[in-house]
Amino acid sequence: MLSAFFANFWRDPDRPIPRDEGVLVSPADGHVMFVRRERAVGRRPSKDELESGACESDSLTGDWFPEPPSNPLLFETEQRFEAVAKGQESENDVYRVAVFMSPLDVHVNRAPFAGTLHRMEHRTGKGLRRGPFVAAYKKESQYNERVRSVFRDANDVFVEVTQISGALARTIVPWLEVDAEVRRGQRYGMIRLGSRVDLRAPASLFTPNVCSAEEQNPSHPKGEFVQAGSSILFTPVND
């Protein structure tokens, strides 16, 4: 039974990749935990900012400079986001779709659009070589050990995909290097066992196309089930 479980876990089926113009496909298999409009309110500090004494420090998530970058939509560094209240939207907002991957789901991750793997960085909790490891189905797991990847397309549009380890899944395996060219739906890495993947995209350019668990839709009580590479998470705003 254990052998059958692991054989099922390591499966990597081919997927039909949508040809629709301008869409973002899911980077992961699983149920959509939530869809949220967010705004950057802080960022990882530079050396000078860290020495300035203006930074805020958290016991697990580390140090934050309490201002976003000049252009948050470039995703130049890891940023701290907060939800945007209705009526307070701005051009620099992003939408985040969080997908929970159970141990029974396919764990290969795929690129949301065609372009370049522009940036990749590994993050852990403050002072930890690995971890922390909150259960991936909890919202607080966003600061578990993680790998943040930024993809850039031919029109200089950037999206951020974060692979987040869970209580069981503690190994994130990238398969590509920075500056690698990717196709929409191309495999670029995986997370072993249960985990979570978040996709952030500019709210001025994309509209979410999925139903989350937070909506309490009786048709999708656990959130809509999506598949990496073939399910469309975002459509262009003009659609």
Catalytic residues: 195
Token duo for residue 219: 């048709």
Cα–Cα distance, 111 to 27 (Å, whole number)? 6
Which of 148, 179, 174, 177 lies closest to 162, judged by CA?
Answer: 148
Write the DSSP assignment of 196-225 as a string of letters: EEEEEEETTTEEE-S--GGGT-TT-TT--E
Strands (DSSP E) along the chain, which ranges? Answer: 24-25, 30-43, 56-58, 62-64, 79-83, 94-101, 108-110, 115-123, 146-152, 158-165, 172-174, 181-182, 187-191, 195-202, 206-208, 225-226, 232-236
Which of 20, 22, 17 lies closest to 238, judged by CA?
Answer: 22
Strands (DSSP E) along 20-73, which ranges? Answer: 24-25, 30-43, 56-58, 62-64
